[in-house]
Amino acid sequence: MSTAAAGTKPVQFRLPAWARDFLDEQSRQMSATKTDVVVVALECLREKETAALMAEGYLELADLHSEMAEQNVAIAGETLPEW
């Protein structure tokens, strides 16, 4: 699971004590480097953000899709025989 690969850059930042402790604990539990733990956490955050944006987009289109469905039902009622 090592992320020490081509295309990576060293980054330096400060963490509060609780975050450092949690990072250390997760690194031990996962038998992974701290970098790997941070990468996994960032991937989770990106997936969560993407899912939220997709949900927002679906909600924005919901009214339009409902209107289109109602129009199609009306048109179908005019052209299809009654059963």
- For the stretch 35-40, contacts whose Cβ atoms lie closer than 8 Å and that sit 24 or more positions apart, written own/partner, are 35/3, 35/4, 36/1, 36/2, 36/3, 39/3
pLDDT digits (tens), the chain, 83 positions: 554 567 889 999 999 999 999 999 999 999 999 999 999 999 999 999 999 999 988 888 888 888 888 888 877 777 767 66
Give Cα 40 to chain centroid, integer Å: 13
Q: What pTM does this model have?
A: 0.64
Q: What is the DSSP letter of 65?
A: H
* Half-sphere exposure (Cβ direction) of 31: Cα atoms closer than 13 Å: 0
